[in-house]
Chain A
Amino acid sequence: MFQSTIANFRKFKPLLYELVSRDIKNKYRRSVLGVLWTILNPLLMMTILSIVFSNIFRFEVQYYPVYILCGQVLYNFFSDSTQAAMNSIIYSAPLLKKVYVPKYMFTLSRIMSCSINIFAAFAALLIVMVVMRVPLHFTMFLSIIPILIMIVFALGTGFILAAVSVKYRDIVHLYSVFLTGFIYLAPVIYPLSIISNPTLQFIIKLNPVTNMLAMFRGFVIYNTMPDLFTVLMAVIPSIVILALGLWVFYRKQDEFILFL
């Protein structure tokens, strides 16, 4: 079975490429600035958020715009890619009813096309750091590690959402509410130090995204290495989620056609 899965993947590998390139072409079709938007978008968001949070609510964070942009890069990827993955099977309905195509291709391609955006957003981050004269460290190169962990985490979440939302469309509505709340369950826009309640702080520290953010910011801004707890609490949940996602998707995929 395992071998046939790999043979099947080989056969449909060109499809993955075509689907990713379709996503990217469609995203920037009819926009004058095109791909530049991948860089402009996080820059503009960062500007708004740093104006709001440095004037209305004051957080004592050094290089706050960079701090928030780091959070944005990872969190926006998570939110965009999981939402795209959630709809990947539903949107491919007309096709899945007619042709045999490995279904995970659609979910995987969505996560991959969003992953490409991360690297553009990273370019925006570098621009801001240079402009704000934030010292650049060699640990910057290590920031690929939390990004990869995040991709694994999003992939697993995406597989679960895609499989479940086919049967229960409620998930689509529920998930956007969840995402709005989830941004506050991790220090995306605020520093962890403002949480005074120790129980609450502990809960936030258990969130894998919190730990990915801590690793990422440590590498990019503070030139620090993460402690063991941070690494484990980022890596283990991500792998568990991916395994769970693959299992759920594999178990449910033959049923998809009944609900599309």
Chain B
Amino acid sequence: MENIMDNSTNKKDIIIEVNNVSRCFNLARERVDSLKEYFVRKVKGNLHFEEFWALKDVSFTVERGDAVGLIGLNGSGKSTMLKVIAGVLKPTEGSARVSGDVAPLIELGAGFDPDLTARENIFLNGALLGHPRSVMQEAYDSIVEFAELREFMDVPVKNFSSGMNSRLAFSIATIGKPDILIVDEVLAVGDSKFQEKCINRIEEMMAKGTTVLFVSHSIRQVEMVCNKVVWLEHGHLKKYGETKEICEEYKSLYKGMDIR
């Protein structure tokens, strides 16, 4: 009896639990986007869908403080998996249980309003992540500092370069101490100096206990940041385990290809 109790307290804190998640898309359905077409097809009996399973029966768990990399070729289901975890997309079957706040690094500042100034966008973007104005006010200086954009704060972001955009977006998403940070291909932009700074920031957050989900085509970056790796192939979970062995296998499988 005592033994069992011990076991349960020793067990690490599970923060993300992905249970048999499958996600199906109806390929045909996405093309019928006008009423007329819908009715014409319905009358003709032409309305059958081609099913496409972007994810099929994927299960894994992530413990608090882990940094998990998602690897796989294009179309393997990485982005769909992230969307399911972020709560943007509901799984067709199975469930994804996430206990904590999720801070997504919004790709190239998708949350920015181009007509607003950088300063105004900081507050808007913060609110999108669920931070009230007072929190953003406190974090404001450190955001500006980290993005290195002090003299551009009153410029509308439509005049920003893509590098400036992602620097600002990264700085906003990484304030505070989110439970889970989702990093999706964002590190591909910005110069190498800033990339390094971002990786340092991510490691800093991990040290404070943030769980990181990391998607990158650069196997080198995955090796640098992650301690565990989920390898997806055609929507199936191929392997889940320690970074070192899985990355080795992945690299040897795609040796001839340019996966860096």
Contact = CB atoms under 8 A, between A and B. Distances in A.
A100 B36 CA distance: 32
Nearest to B82: A98
Contact of A26 (B83, B86, B89, B116): B116
Interface in B79-116: 83, 86-90, 102, 104, 106-107, 110-111, 113, 115-116
Given A25-B116, A26-B116, A18 B35 contact: no
Contacts of B90: 254
A11 B130 CA distance: 6
B130 A12 contact: yes
B25 A22 contact: no
Contact of A168 (B30, B35, B107, B120): B35
B127 A14 contact: yes
B113 A99 contact: no
B245 to A, nearest CB: 32
Considering residues A18, A22, A169, A258, which has the most beta carbons from chain B within 10 angstroms of its beta carbon? A18
A97 B36 CA distance: 27
Contacts of B120: 22, 25
B29 interface: yes
Contact of A17 (B86, B127, B130): B127
Contact of A98 (B33, B38, B88, B133): B88
A94 interface: yes
B243 to A, nearest CB: 26
A29 B115 contact: yes
- Which has the most chain B C-beta neighbours within 10 Å: A94, A97, A99, A254? A99
Interface in A149-170: 167-170
A95 interface: yes
A99 to B, nearest CB: 5
Contacts of A13: 132
B33 A99 contact: no
Contacts of A169: 33-34
A258 B88 contact: no
B25 A258 contact: yes
Contacts, number: 80
B34 A170 contact: yes
A232 interface: no
Given A25-B116, A168-B35, A14 B131 contact: yes
Query: For chain A, which range describes its interface: under 10, 10 to 19, 20 to 34, or 35 or more residues?
Result: 20 to 34
Given A22-B116, A98-B107, A257 B88 contact: yes
B124 interface: yes
A206 interface: no
B86 A15 contact: no
A247 interface: no
A142 interface: no
Contacts of A170: 34-36
A99 B132 contact: no
B231 interface: no
A96 interface: yes
Contacts of A97: 83, 88, 110
B33 A95 contact: no
A254 B120 CA distance: 30
B123 interface: yes
Contacts of A26: 113, 115-116
B101 to A, nearest CB: 9
Given A169-B33, A169-B34, A15 B130 contact: yes
A168 B126 CA distance: 32
Interface in B156-213: none
Nearest to B103: A99
A99 B131 contact: no
Given A18-B124, A25-B116, A168-B33, 10 more contacts: A12-B130, A15-B127, A22-B113, A26-B113, A26-B115, A94-B110, A95-B111, A97-B110, A99-B128, A170-B36
21 contacts: A12-B130, A14-B130, A14-B132, A18-B123, A19-B124, A22-B116, A22-B120, A25-B116, A25-B120, A95-B111, A97-B83, A97-B88, A98-B86, A98-B104, A98-B111, A99-B104, A100-B88, A101-B128, A167-B33, A168-B34, A258-B29
Interface of A: 11-15, 17-19, 22, 25-26, 29, 94-101, 167-170, 254, 257-259
Interface of B: 25, 29-30, 33-36, 38, 83, 86-90, 102, 104, 106-107, 110-111, 113, 115-116, 120, 123-124, 126-133
